[in-house]
Amino acid sequence: MLGKDLLGLYDTSAEDITAILDTAVGMKKLLTQNLKKLPHLQGRTVTTLFYENSTRTRCSFELAAKYLGAGTVNISASSSSVQKGETLIDTGRTLDAMKNDVIVIRHPMGGAPHLLAKNVKASVVNGGDGMNEHPTQALLDFYTMREKFGSFKGLKVSILGDIKHSRVAKSNLFGLTKLGAEVTMFAPATLMPQGIERMGAKIAKSREEALAGANVVMGLRIQLERMHGGLFPSLSEYAKYYGVGEECLKFADKDCIVMHPGPVNRGVEFTSDVIDAENSEINEQVLNGVAVRMALLFLLCKNRQGGEKHE
Amino acid sequence: MSKLLIKGGTAVFADRCEVCDILVDGKKIVKIAKNVEEKGAKVIDAAGLHVFPGLIDMHVHLREPGFEYKEDIASGSAAAVRGGFTQICCMPNTDPVCDNAAVVGYIVARGREVNLCKVRPIGAITKGEKGEQLAEIGKMKEAGAVAISDDGRPVANARIMRLAMEYASDFGLICLSHCEDKDLVDGGAVNEGYNSTLAGLKGIPRAAEEIMLAREIILAETLGKRAHICHVSTKGGVQLLREAKKRGVAITAETCPHYFTLTDDVITSFDANTKVNPPIREAEDVAAIREGLRDGTLDCIVTDHAPHHKDEKNVEYNLAAFGISGIETSFSLSYTYLVKAGVLTLEQLADRMSAAPARILGLEGGVLAEGNAADIMLADLNAKYVIDSKDFVSKGKNTPFNGTEVYGKVCCTIVDGDVKYGA
Amino acid sequence: MSEHILMDGAAIGRTLTRLSHEIVEKAKGTENLCLIGIPRRGEIVAARVRALIEKFYGASLPCAGIDIGMYRDDLVSGYFVPDARVNSLGFSVDGKTVILCDDVLHTGRTVRAAIEAIFDLGRPAKIMLLVLCDRGGREMPVSPDFVGKNIPTSSRETIDVRFAEIEGEDSLGIIGKE
């Protein structure tokens, strides 16, 4: 069963992933029907500790916590304070002393949530750490796929974009391969990490090959700083050779869906036509994100409740 | 001065291991023979033990002056003799940088004052280790420097390195090159490969090390000068060195226990004690390093002993300091992973850990022989123990080897005829 | 396990008829009345009472079901996500006399939850409780206003209510566990 923390999907079993998705079904129903809050996290505190800018992930966690009755505290620390300010362990211990139940951490460095989790009593949820993992984004992606296709068995998922720096791509890969889906990746060679094929991804040689027969076409955000770092020459060149427009989508399955973790660079990863098309699930993903995070907080706090009883 | 008689141990020579007695008079070994008796000599019963030439570590960081909270010459020396080392050569990346005769002189004097092992400073190649202007190499040599290096801050400019090799040779000093192309490293923290992708940590490609290693080979070859490569960690590096040596290039090289014992699987725990520069590589590199040590492509084993305060390791992996506190585990790891594993003979181990560094730097000791300095180490090769950094006398407890079961325990370290550890 | 039938379809019909008259008698008419049933059988009770009042008195009372999933008192202790639906009655309860209907009254917990659910929708003038059967075993200070049949039971027994709308026939029995 799900333990104290959720640090990544590499260490999370298919059963636990499925349990979270199953719980999220009820949560989404509550959300979409405008029902009142659940009382399960009443008296508990969920803190978002973000060392990187984020609107949607933080907002999503905060809403999820509130729908379950928890109090929320938001801490924004600039990336520079990672090096200059209080150490992560000391920050964690301070939050522990204030009796936090869950700490959602986003951090520019891989492994920071693991370090925090080892040093605090609170449950730690990885809200994205460097190039490592972003498990809740992947879980909401899975929820969206399952809602559309019912099952992951044989599902063809194509992920295009900056794979090298993407924690989303990796969490998706770890989870999807456990759930039985096939993952194909496509990126400029400068944005493709080493060894990813040994983790179960198929590397496509062309955009057409990447999209061939895909049920899910997922784009990843291209960050401008990568261009400035020389990893590709320009956004327009990227869009021309690696972006996805309606013409390319014809290679995919006719019933495919289009996904993106956001925020989207219109005209770069996807053309606006693709983003705004009927089969685009990009907005649905956002709603599912709240449901999945509610389910996760619900299940983590269930474990905590069990733990406290034995104390 | 008193006499010391080491009786009944198995002495490890360059060409054989043999049970014999060793008589020390003052600072020298005066007799090596069977059944030596000497009235008035203090006897050390070495029955069942192996007698090695005192180990020499030509690459350590003692952190003094400037970073005494990490280590100082006293604690580093105590750690060295506990690890079986009788001579250690300390790198110049201190504060102030050891780039002048005054700092070299300070370290030499402080080493004598501490009086545990012989502390041999390595001077900086360039002033401030900035890679721009040669340091006063001649004056540092006169003050006691045994080599020059900008360890930790590679000399990026090939012209400066060329000048250093040429100029240092006038004084009989060798350049120890820390090979690292900083542009290729680009802020990396671990070996670039499957595990860096898995952990989402930025990778350091092997090319970052090998490109500069190739440069040093070419410089040494074209200039006809000697050069020494620090802490070789890659298969490609071993291959470059093997080919260069075959051509007769005057190049020597070292590696460290963590490069022939660990693969980068250890980084996925995000334990910052596994963070070291160059990074821990993959299985094929480990195999190549072992083979390099076996066939002599890699001349010697050093520790790159890099003690850090726990606060510098107990942080995010990217923020953690590079380095492993290794001087107290080097012998046991080398014996366990090289000799017990059938890679090296005991004679070869003694060569890689003592004779070779002495040869490269022109230091005394290195072999057990009559007339040589009485730098001797006794080890119980059958003793099995579990590494626990709580036992370290070094201030740096940063090791990835906690919990590792090893064989070969250092029992006694004798420096210039004086027992400095054990017995 | 054996079931002992206490009321057949005709008996249930007679009882509901009596209860319908009692409501109008006690409320002094049909003015301002509405019926709210607790799913699933409480809704059937409410619908039948509504039909009977309409038949006898010509008044067509507002009638709806109310979901209590979100109001259960064991959500946290049982740690589950209720399969709830949103409540929209189609009429206002403000100032009304609500006849809250259920088939069996036991601990009173369901009724407590239903009262809370009703108050989330408005402020009725009065809530009265109608049950087809009161089996005793109260855990809350809840008392019914209209009772079809008092059947004291032990905790080892259960009341089995069957309605034509669900099971195809009307009956009320007691099942004792050996």
Question: Domains of chain A: which residue ranges?
Answer: 14-133+286-305, 135-281
Nearest CA in chain B to A87: B315
Q: How many CB atoms lie within 10 A of CB B341?
A: 12
Q: What is the pLDDT of residue B140?
A: 98
Residue C81 distance to chain A (closest CA, Å)? 6
- Residues of A near C (Cβ–Cβ under 8 Å) read 23, 26-27, 29-30, 33-36, 38-40, 42, 298, 302, 305
Helices B235-247 and B283-295 pack at an angle, to 10 degrees, of: 30
- pLDDT tens digits along A179-213: 999 999 999 999 999 999 999 999 999 999 999 99
Residue B196 distance to chain A (closest CA, Å)? 8
Q: Indicate the SS3 state at residue A272.
A: helix
Q: How many CB atoms lie within 10 A of CB A258?
A: 22
Mean predicted confidence (pLDDT) in C82-91? 90
Q: Which two tokens stand for residue A46?
A: 């969920």
Residue B277 distance to chain A (closest CA, Å)? 18
Residue A40 distance to chain C (closest CA, Å)? 5
CA pair distance B233, B255, nearest whole angstrom: 7
Among the partner-chain residues A87, A133, A198, the one whose CB lies closest to the CB of B194 is A198
DSSP A278: T
Chain C residues with beta carbon closer than 8 angstroms to that of A33:
84-86
Residues 176-215 of A with CB under 8 A from B: 193-196, 198-199
Confidence band (pLDDT; 50, 70, 90) for B1? low
CA pair distance B191, B286, nearest whole angstrom: 13
B265 is catalytic: no
Among the partner-chain residues B192, B200, B311, the one whose CB lies closest to the CB of A129 is B200
Contact between residue B23 and residue B4 where contact means Cβ atoms under 8 Å apart: yes
CA pair distance A297, A102, nearest whole angstrom: 8
**Is the CB of A35 less than 8 angstroms away from the CB of C70?**
yes
Residue A108 phi/psi, 5° resolution?
Answer: -75, -5
CA pair distance C25, C20, nearest whole angstrom: 9
Q: How many CB atoms lie within 10 A of CB C75?
A: 18
Q: What is the pLDDT of residue A311?
A: 31
Q: Which residues contact C85 (CB under 8 A, 6 or more apart)?
A: A33, A35, C67, C69
**Is the CB of A36 less than 8 angstroms away from the CB of C120?**
yes
**Is the CB of B316 less than 8 angstroms away from the CB of A167?**
no
Distance separating the N- and C-terminal Cα atoms of chain C? 6
Residue A193 distance to chain B (closest CA, Å)? 6
Class of domain A14-133+286-305: alpha beta
Chain C residues with beta carbon closer than 8 angstroms to that of A23:
81
Q: What is the pLDDT of residue A36?
A: 76
DSSP A227: H
Residue type, B214: A
DSSP C68: -
Chain A residues with beta carbon closer than 8 angstroms to that of C79:
40, 302, 305
Q: Please give the interface size between A and C, counted as residue pairs whose CB atoms are below 8 Å apart.
A: 31
**Is the CB of A107 less than 8 angstroms away from the CB of B202?**
no
Whole-structure pTM value: 0.91
Mean predicted confidence (pLDDT) in A52-76? 94
Residue A28 distance to chain C (closest CA, Å)? 11
Of A78 and B120, the structure prediction assigns the larger pLDDT to: B120
**Is the CB of C76 less than 8 angstroms away from the CB of A33?**
no
**Is the CB of A39 less than 8 angstroms away from the CB of C85?**
no
pLDDT > 60? residue A307: no
CA pair distance B403, C77, nearest whole angstrom: 43
Q: Which two tokens stand for residue A45?
A: 């505190």
**Is the CB of B199 less than 8 angstroms away from the CB of A111?**
yes
- pLDDT tens digits along C6-59: 999 999 999 999 999 999 999 999 999 999 999 999 999 999 999 999 999 999
CA pair distance B160, B217, nearest whole angstrom: 15
CA pair distance C103, C148, nearest whole angstrom: 9
Among the partner-chain residues A107, A132, A194, the one whose CB lies closest to the CB of B199 is A132
Nearest CA in chain B to A114: B270
Closest CA to A249 of A275, A281, A223: A275
pLDDT > 70? residue A119: yes
Nearest CA in chain A to C73: A39
Among the partner-chain residues C76, C79, C86, the one whose CB lies closest to the CB of A35 is C86
pLDDT > 70? residue B376: yes
Cα torsion A243, A244, A246, A249: sign:
positive
Residue B11 distance to chain A (closest CA, Å)? 47
Mean predicted confidence (pLDDT) in B365-385? 97
**Is the CB of A39 less than 8 angstroms away from the CB of C81?**
no
**Is the CB of A27 less than 8 angstroms away from the CB of C85?**
no
Nearest CA in chain C to A302: C79
Closest CA to B330 of B380, B256, B280: B256
Q: Which two tokens stand for residue C30?
A: 């049909």
Residue with structure tokens 């009692």? Answer: C22
CA pair distance B376, B373, nearest whole angstrom: 9
Q: Which residues contact C25 (CB under 8 A, 6 or more apart)?
A: none
Domains of chain B: 54-361 (3.20.20.140)
- pLDDT tens digits along A6-35: 999 999 999 999 999 999 999 999 998 877
Q: Which two tokens stand for residue B356?
A: 């070779």
CA pair distance A278, A44, nearest whole angstrom: 40
Residue type, B208: A
**Is the CB of A87 less than 8 angstroms away from the CB of B194?**
no
Residue A129 CA to its chain's centroid (Å): 11
Q: Indicate the SS3 state at residue A6.
A: strand
Q: What is the pLDDT of residue A85?
A: 81
- pLDDT tens digits along B148-177: 999 989 999 999 999 999 999 999 999 999
Q: What is the pLDDT of residue A227?
A: 80
CA pair distance B380, B78, nearest whole angstrom: 20
Residues 169-198 of B with CB under 8 A from A: 192-198
Q: What is the pLDDT of residue B402?
A: 98
Q: Please give the interface size between A and B, counted as residue pairs whose CB atoms are below 8 Å apart.
A: 69
Chain B residues with beta carbon closer than 8 angstroms to that of A174:
none
Q: Which two tokens stand for residue B400?
A: 């990835």
Residues 160-179 of A with CB under 8 A from B: 167, 170
Nearest CA in chain A to B192: A194
Tell me the sheet residues that pair with A182.
Answer: A156
Which of the residues B264, B265, B268, B316 would you substitute to probe the A interface, choosing the one with the greatest number of A C-beta atoms within 10 Å? B316
Q: Indicate the SS3 state at residue C8.
A: strand
Domains of chain C: 11-155 (3.40.50.2020)
Q: Do domains A14-133+286-305 and A135-281 have the same CATH topology?
A: yes
**Is the CB of A199 less than 8 angstroms away from the CB of B315?**
no
**Is the CB of A194 less than 8 angstroms away from the CB of B270?**
no
Closest CA to C139 of C106, C166, C93: C106
HEC profile for chain B?
CCEEEEEEEEEECCCCEEEEEEEEECCEEEEEECCCCCCCCEEEECCCCEEEECEEEEEECCCCCCCCCCCCHHHHHHHHHHCCEEEEEECCCCCCCCCCHHHHHHHHHHHHHHCCCEEEECECCEHHHCCCCECCHHHHHHHCCCCEECCCCCCCCHHHHHHHHHHHHHCCCCEEECCCCHHHHCCCCEECCHHHHHHCCCEECHHHHHHHHHHHHHHHHHHCCCEEECCCCCHHHHHHHHHHHHHCCCEEEEECHHHHHCCHHHHHHCCHHHCCCCCCCCHHHHHHHHHHHHHCCCCEECCCECCCCHHHCCCCHHHCCCCECCCCCHHHHHHHHHHCCCCCCHHHHHHHHHHHHHHHHCCCCCCCCCCCECCEEEEEEEEEEECCHHHCCCCCCCCCCCCCEEEEEEEEEEECCEEEEEC
Chain A residues with beta carbon closer than 8 angstroms to that of C81:
23, 26-27, 30, 38, 298
Catalytic residue selected from B151, B181, B285, B304: B304
Q: What is the pLDDT of residue A309?
A: 36
Check whether domain A135-281 has CATH 3.60.15.10, yes or no: no
Q: Indicate the SS3 state at residue A91.
A: helix
Confidence band (pLDDT; 50, 70, 90) for A305? low
Chain B residues with beta carbon closer than 8 angstroms to that of A112:
316
Q: What is the pLDDT of residue A310?
A: 32
ipTM of the prediction = 0.91
Q: What is the pLDDT of residue A242?
A: 95
Element (H, E) at A115: helix A112-119
Q: Which two tokens stand for residue A270?
A: 């996807």
DSSP A50: E
Among the partner-chain residues C76, C85, C120, the one whose CB lies closest to the CB of A39 is C76
Question: CA-CA distances (angstroms) from residue C149 to B231, C9, C12?
Answer: 91, 14, 10
**Is the CB of B200 less than 8 angstroms away from the CB of A133?**
yes
CA pair distance A29, A42, nearest whole angstrom: 20
Residues 313-342 of B with CB under 8 A from A: 314-319
Nearest CA in chain C to A41: C76
What is the rounded average pLDDT for all residues in chain B?
A: 97
What is the rounded average pLDDT for all residues in chain A?
A: 93
Confidence band (pLDDT; 50, 70, 90) for B346? very high
Residue A309 distance to chain C (closest CA, Å)? 12
